Amino acid sequence: MRELAIVGIGQTPVSENWGQSIREIAGEAILYALEDAGLDSTDGLFIGNMLSGILSKQESLGALLADWIGLKHTEAVKIEAACGSGAAALRMAIMAVGSGELDSAIAAGVEKMTETKGTETTAALATAADADYEIIHGLSFVGINALVMQRYLFEYGWKHTDFAPFSINAHANAMHNPYARLHEVITEKDYKKSRMISDPINLLDASPIGDGAAAVVVVPVEELHPRLSASGRDHRPIITIAGSALATDTLAVHSRSDPLWLTAAEKSARLAYAQAGVAPEDIDLFEVHDAFSIMSALSLEACGFAERGQGPRLGLEGMITPKGRIPISTRGGLKARGHPVGATGIYQIVEVVQQLRGEAAGTQVDGARVGMAQNIGGSGATIATHILKALR
Amino acid sequence: MRELAIVGIGQTPVSENWGQSIREIAGEAILYALEDAGLDSTDGLFIGNMLSGILSKQESLGALLADWIGLKHTEAVKIEAACGSGAAALRMAIMAVGSGELDSAIAAGVEKMTETKGTETTAALATAADADYEIIHGLSFVGINALVMQRYLFEYGWKHTDFAPFSINAHANAMHNPYARLHEVITEKDYKKSRMISDPINLLDASPIGDGAAAVVVVPVEELHPRLSASGRDHRPIITIAGSALATDTLAVHSRSDPLWLTAAEKSARLAYAQAGVAPEDIDLFEVHDAFSIMSALSLEACGFAERGQGPRLGLEGMITPKGRIPISTRGGLKARGHPVGATGIYQIVEVVQQLRGEAAGTQVDGARVGMAQNIGGSGATIATHILKALR
């Protein structure tokens, strides 16, 4: 497969956006990404989205958006992998352009989920889990994650407050991200007194849903120099896609031999490391899928940044901040940037590109050259890992 | 992109199947395809599906099915392009294996749509059209197609009964297909007295929905000989994917400069012809997307088998039967094999492979060497065209 680069990024603020329809939100992010790339069009459009059919009564998002943004008759489809839909769409764009079948593509993610009733949105999100073996028992999606966290606390002996640094770091970083949903510094005290949602997951362990879209433009590196020169953007580093992999696990958490180990994260990270020729110690920042704080810990462990059961230690030792050993959620993460589910995986990529370009004002990781993003669908069922590198 | 072949096919009978869940239906077809290929597993699973979230309250079909059929930790996602989801999933499998990113993949389609109330299923199908500009006015999906057919009759001066041969041919062919939903020969008299659904579309112009799944296994041709020899299947012709393309059009039919011309069919067919190095006269059979009889006419015209406005003539002149110049719907088509929407595009591919292998008992097209399938999502919004060739 030929080497690829990300030459354009776009995003909309994650918010409660009742003023725009799903096509308007997605169109905005895609047009920003094209503008950032200095391109008018691409050969393909891959849309990550989970809930448009259920919540917006709208499928066929691929064709809808290709038309809406003026990509007449372009190849376009929607990719669904629950909350991992965004990175799954990027995977498809990578294979489409990498194969030579297309010369360029947009991978975008969009979700509109706040305009419906809360119970409706919660029921829709539950379709990410196993309908026949999990949801039928009355579990919600947060309920499943609460069971995992409960077990983690029991197995490894951590206190609930040991997870506070994940949330505190995410909120602090989001203060510097104008696209983040939450702009509110929180303290350990806030975390402790936060309202319980599903024991032991409290409000500050959980990411807020939201409406939003993000998009990136993928082209082959071999075609990059003439394009960039023409657009006057060749002062920016070239951001290559050095590693990309997607793996799955059982949808129902109870079917796993070890419910506290994200095998799909481990596998996809291992493949991505090998492709990129790097190891965990080479990663300068890591956008984790912190839908719930427990997921940050599990991801850090599965990807080799912490020993099994030791994820919370990284937070307690200050290693996850922008100045730490392995900065995570550097633009706010799902926790504070917000979690418009099908869009999240692309927001993460946009944020890694910002870091590698040196455009992450306020939370810039000094000298960031290699960044990683990991997007999770279901409670660890579909996990895609991408590693980007800056060529200066 | 490296050259690819289809080495395994599987399908379940299209039916009203309340006894199996969506995972069981899909799993059956996928396991048949693997068995037919003589393989235990593949590196990827691409699931075409439109309605699982709305009707089965189940998203994450990729991870769900990878686990269900025992493909532990394999890359797996769902692709949605309304009724064109099946062929869109095949496109993704092609790019995944063609790029070298994966060494083999399954493209499958599945839909379970009869266990819900009819009004619920009709509303779900309407998500294929433009929610904000078509459906909001009270149109159903069949209603949109009826407007197109009405206009076609007016513009080109055909009588409604001139469309009877499409339906008669499909029903006759389905008599020989054990997987077809309808096994009932119909006559022109039956067509004339058929119940009106949405004027001028009557019951025999419309395809029946259904529950069903189909799957194909895609591998590189370069790896084919050792695999086939090992499996003892080398007496069969090698079926290559000679052409594959997907194009889109406006989702709302009223936005097209000519609502009677399928530009996305024309574009995707033109690209597929060029890749395969063939022209319409080289195509031995054509599995059209006859969701409604009007769509057969429009597809035949856009793909170069009939002049503009002359599609019905092919039926009236007997050219679409298995012995005719351009056999269509050779195993029953959507009209009589049935239309489990997200699965249909893969059923079409399975049927073309049957023809090219000489396994289409009863409706075998003599000496078939080059077959084409065209799958449509929405009323012409997303159209994928595939051309397969038999190497003997």
The string of pLDDT tens digits covering residues A303-360 is 999 999 999 999 999 999 999 999 999 999 999 999 999 999 999 999 999 999 999 9
Quote the minimal CA–CA distance from B43 to chain A in Å.
10
Indicate yes or no: CB of B381 within 8 angstroms of CB of A60. yes
| All residues at 6 or more sequence positions from B241 whose CB lies less than 8 Å from its CB, including other chains | B3, B4, B5, B6, B94, B218, B386, B387, B388
- In total, the C-beta contacts within 8 angstroms joining chain A to chain B are 206
Test A75 with B248 for CB contact under 8 angstroms: yes
Question: Shortest CB distance from A101 goes to which of B51, B95, B100?
Answer: B95
Q: Looking at the partner chain, which of A96, A124, A264 has a beta carbon nearest the beta carbon of B95? A: A96
- Give the nearest chain B residue to A2 (CA atoms): B99
Q: Which candidate in B83, B160, B289, B303 is catalytic?
A: B83
Q: Is the pLDDT of residue B119 over 60?
A: yes
Q: Which of B21, B60, B95 sits opposite A128 (nearest CB)?
A: B60
- Told to judge if B83 belongs to the known catalytic residues of this protein, a careful annotator would answer yes
Among B78, B92, B135, whose Cβ lies nearest the Cβ of A81? B78
Whether the per-residue pLDDT at A112 is higher than 80: the answer is yes
- Please provide the distance, in angstroms rounded to a whole number, between the alpha carbons at the two ends of chain A: 22
Tell me whether residues A248 and B92 touch, CB distance under 8 A: no
Q: What is the pLDDT of residue B223?
A: 82
Closest C-alpha among B381, B378, B344, B352 to residue B89:
B344
Q: Which of B171, B289, B339, B386 is catalytic?
A: B339
- Please state whether beta strands A105-111 and A212-220 pair in parallel, antiparallel, or not at all (unpaired): antiparallel
Residue of B nearest to A73 (CA): B248
| CA A60/CA B382 separation, integer angstroms | 8
Q: Name the pLDDT band for A235 (thresholds 50, 70, 90).
A: confident
Helices A293-302 and A164-174 pack at an angle, to 10 degrees, of 100
A53, A73, A250: residue with CB nearest B127:
A53
Residue type (1 letter), B212: G
Q: How many percent of chain A have pLDDT more than 70? A: 97
**Within B217-343, where are the H helices?**
224-231, 263-276, 293-302, 311-316, 333-337
- Does the global pTM surpass 0.95? yes
Least confident range from A228-237, B111-120, B343-352: namely A228-237
Is the predicted pLDDT of residue B231 greater than 80, yes or no? no
Q: Is B254 a catalytic site residue?
A: no
- Average pLDDT for B34-42: 97
Whole-number mean pLDDT of chain B?
96
Q: Which residue has the higher pLDDT, B228 or A288?
A: A288
pLDDT at A224: 80
B278 secondary structure, DSSP code: -
Residue B229 has pLDDT above 80, yes or no: no
Nearest chain B alpha carbon to A100: B1
CA pair distance A90, A92, nearest whole angstrom: 5
Query: Measured on CA atoms in the order B182, B203, B293, B347, is the torsion positive or negative?
Result: negative
Each residue of A166-196: pLDDT tens digit?
999 999 999 999 999 999 999 999 999 999 9
Of B56, B75, B132, the CB nearest to A21: B132
pLDDT at B201 (0 to 100): 98
CA distance B79 to chain A (A): 5
Closest residue of chain B to A53, computed from CA coordinates:
B127
CA of B92: how far to CAs of A187, B45, B285, in Å?
Answer: 46, 10, 24
Alpha-carbon distances, residue A308 vs A155, A172, A289, A336 (angstroms): 11, 27, 18, 26
Report the gap between the CA of B128 and the closest CA in chain A (Å). 5
Residues of A with CB below 8 A from B67's CB? 248-251, 255
Q: Quick check: A382 and B255 CB within 8 A?
A: no
B61·A78 Cβ contact <8 A: no
Q: Please report which confidence band the pLDDT of residue B235 belongs to, taking 50, 70 and 90 as the band edges.
A: confident
Peptide bond into A200 cis (omega under 30): yes
d(C-alpha B116, C-alpha B128), whole Å: 18
Predicted pLDDT at B280: 98
Give A72→chain B minimum CA distance, Å: 7
The catalytic residues of A are: 83, 339
Is B392 a residue whose pLDDT tops 80?
no
Nearest-CA neighbor of A275 among A91, A125, A150? A91
Check CB contact under 8 Å for A60 and B251: yes
CB within 8 Å: A77 and B92 = yes
Sequence-distant (6+) residues with CB within 8 A of A224 are A5, A7, A238
Chain A residues inside the 8 Å CB shell of B131: 56-58
Across the interface, whether the CB atoms of A131 and B249 are under 8 A apart is answered no
Inter-chain contact A78–B79, Cβ cutoff 8 Å?
yes
The answer to whether the bond into B200 is cis (omega within 30° of 0) is: yes
**Nearest CA-CA distance, residue A219 and chain B, Å:** 15
Look at A53 and B53 and tell me if their CB atoms are within 8 Å: yes
Q: What angle do CA A239, B78, B145 make, to 5 degrees?
A: 115
Per mean pLDDT, which range of A103-107, A219-223, A237-241 is the poorest? A219-223
Q: Do A73 and B246 touch (CB under 8 A)?
A: no
Let me know: does B248 contact A75? Beta carbons within 8 Å.
yes
d(CA A156, CA B344): 49
pLDDT of residue B270: 98
Interatomic CA distance for residues B161 and B24, integer angstroms? 40
- Over residues A255-272, mean pLDDT: 98
- HSE (CB half, 13 Å, CA atoms) of A10? 26
Answer whether residue A229 shows pLDDT above 60: no
pLDDT band at residue B308 under the 50/70/90 scheme: very high
CB atoms near residue B364 (< 10 Å): 18
